[in-house]
Amino acid sequence: MNRLLVIEDETVILKALTRLLERNHYEVTPANSVEEALTAEPRGFDLVLADLRLPGVAGTEIIAHAEPVPVVIMTSHASVRSAVNAMRAGAIDYVAKPFDHDELLLVIQRSLTHNQMQAQNNALVSDMERLLPAPALISCTELGALHARLSNAPQRERNIFLTGERGVGREWLARLLHWNGERRNGPFVIADLPLLRHEPLQEKLLGGEEGVNRHGMLQAAHGGTLVIRQPALLSHDAQIKLAQAIIRRGLNNQRSGRVYNIQLIMVSDTSLETLCDRGEIVEELATLFIQSHIVLKPLREQRDQLDDLVRALIHHHSRRHNVAVSEPDPSAIATVQAYRWDGNAQELDRSIERAVLAARGRSIEATDLGLGLVSSDQETTNNRDLSLDEYFRYFVLRHQSTLSETELASRLGISRKALWERRQKIGLSRS
């Protein structure tokens, strides 16, 4: 039940309003002045209904004390000027006395709905902030440089095609571009085509002539960003219509003549060139991304940044979970350097978060990462099909702080010269 604070100095009107609102299932707290209303803690209500002319101070004075609770102003001096002044003061709506009961109830319901929608929007914005990548993943990977480059691109290049292995952070980059760009106050819509593939994709995306989906995701993203996952799942006809809608900023079959202003970002496991060669993406759509086709590197091609990234992620997740974690053990760094990271940055991020929780305040060790490279009681691989280079990297990084080069070579069963040559081959110099 919604709680209303009603401020009215005329007792007869106040009693009548209270009866009317209670009959319509509102919980009402009456007050005769702003001073009395302040003792009721106006921020604890869902809506405040205040008369403009009150003893002491005007009803609009309650607005600052009630914020963010919406305030509806009522007055017997109906005029455009008083309505404008009330709205300028921050009132959400205005109703003139004598008012029709149905009109008053409609204004109250509309104001409550608006307030609920605003609260939901604030919650969605907060949730979107939570889904952004950790700052470490931006500063210690190529995400930061790509974000800076794309953010400074001309407006005509804002249609972006992001490709790369799964887990490299394609959608993270899309979220960053939206959140930090001029469209951050607009909608962020994701068309997850693999999940929708058994539904009418064209209708879902572009809208139909009638029914629930007649507007489609294209219209839902107006003023913001539309992200399409795996666009090759769209039929050629749908791709052509989508390309035309982006170029013309509208669809020919929309009777409303709506103009669409969106940033289009496509996310694919396969490069644009390959999709075009296979005939899975039509030329009309591919042309939109000639200037902004971005291939994100897998994590294994950014190994020189792994040490800094691991430490930064540990710091981030230890703060997030309020866990004091010391520097990672050399075994953990060695394991991270040796691991394939088929899941790329997303897999590393989750592994570090799990390790922070498992460590419970102590130094993170290799076994805390849960990668299956080592067991807790032995220095052998644990059901993990490592290549020779991967095992060499792991073993050397794990022991070079305690063993000499001669001892390392002996433990590996190779000569010291062979150890030096293999170090040079895989770019693993002794620090």
Rounded CA-CA distance 311/352 in Å is: 9
Residues 305-340 have pLDDT tens digits of 899 999 999 999 999 889 888 788 888 888 888 888
Question: 3-class secondary structure for 309-324?
Answer: HHHHHHHHHHHHCCCC
Topology of domain 300-426, per CATH? Answer: Helicase, Ruva Protein; domain 3 (1.10.8)
pLDDT band of 109, cuts 50, 70, 90: very high
The reported pLDDT for the residue numbered 27 is: 95
CA angle, 53 then 58 then 64, to 5°: 140
What's the pLDDT tens digit per position in 60-103? 999 999 988 999 998 876 567 777 888 888 999 988 888 889 99
pLDDT at 383: 39
The span from the CA of 125 to the CA of 290, in Å, is 31
Dist. CA 47–CA 69, nearest whole Å: 6
Distance CA 371, CA 354 (A): 11
pLDDT, position 255? 47
User: How far is Cα 304 from Cα 299, in angstroms, rounded to an integer?
Assistant: 10
Q: Which helix (H) or strand (E) holds 264?
A: strand 263-268
Question: Strands (DSSP E) along 344-428, which ranges?
Answer: none
Q: Check if the beta carbon of residue 32 is closer than 8 Å to that of residue 62.
A: no
Q: What are the pLDDT digits (tens) for 186-227?
A: 899 999 999 887 788 888 888 876 544 467 888 889 889 999
Strands 27-31 and 3-7: parallel
| CATH topology agreement for domains 134-295 and 300-426 | no
Considering the domain 3-125 in this protein, what is its CATH number?
Answer: 3.40.50.2300
Contacts (Cβ under 8 Å, ≥6 apart) of 38: 62, 65
Would you tell me how many other CB atoms lie within 10 Å of the CB of residue 391? Answer: 16
> Length of the chain in residues, anyone?
431
CA distance 216 to 207: 4
Per CATH, the homologous superfamily of domain 134-295 is P-loop containing nucleotide triphosphate hydrolases (3.40.50.300)
- Per domain, the residue ranges of the chain are 3-125, 134-295, 300-426
Letter string b/e over residues 56-80, b meaning 16 or more CB atoms within 10 A of that residue's CB: eebbbbbbeebeebbbbbbbeeeee
Phi (first) and psi of residue 211, to 5 degrees: 95, -170
d(CA 273, CA 203): 27
How many Cβ atoms from other residues are within 10 Å of residue 428's Cβ?
A: 17
DSSP string, 166-228: TTS-HHHHHHHHHHTSTTTTS-EEEEEHHHHTTS-HHHHHH--SSSTTSSHHHHHTTTSEEEE
| Structure confidence by residue, pLDDT tens digits, 384-427 | 455 667 778 778 877 787 888 888 888 877 888 888 888 888 77
pLDDT at position 352: 93
Instruction: Check residue 395 and report its DSSP letter.
Output: H
Sequence-distant (≥ 6) Cβ neighbours of residue 358 within 8 angstroms: 368, 370
pLDDT at residue 314 in the model? 92
353-367 in b/e burial notation, b at 16+ Cβ within 10 A? bebbeebeeeebbbb
pLDDT > 90: percent of the chain: 44
Q: What is the pLDDT of residues 89-99, one digit of tens each?
A: 899 998 888 88
- DSSP letter at 366 equals G
Coil, strand or helix: which one is 266?
strand
- Token pair 């799964």 is at which residue? 166
d(CA 172, CA 190): 12
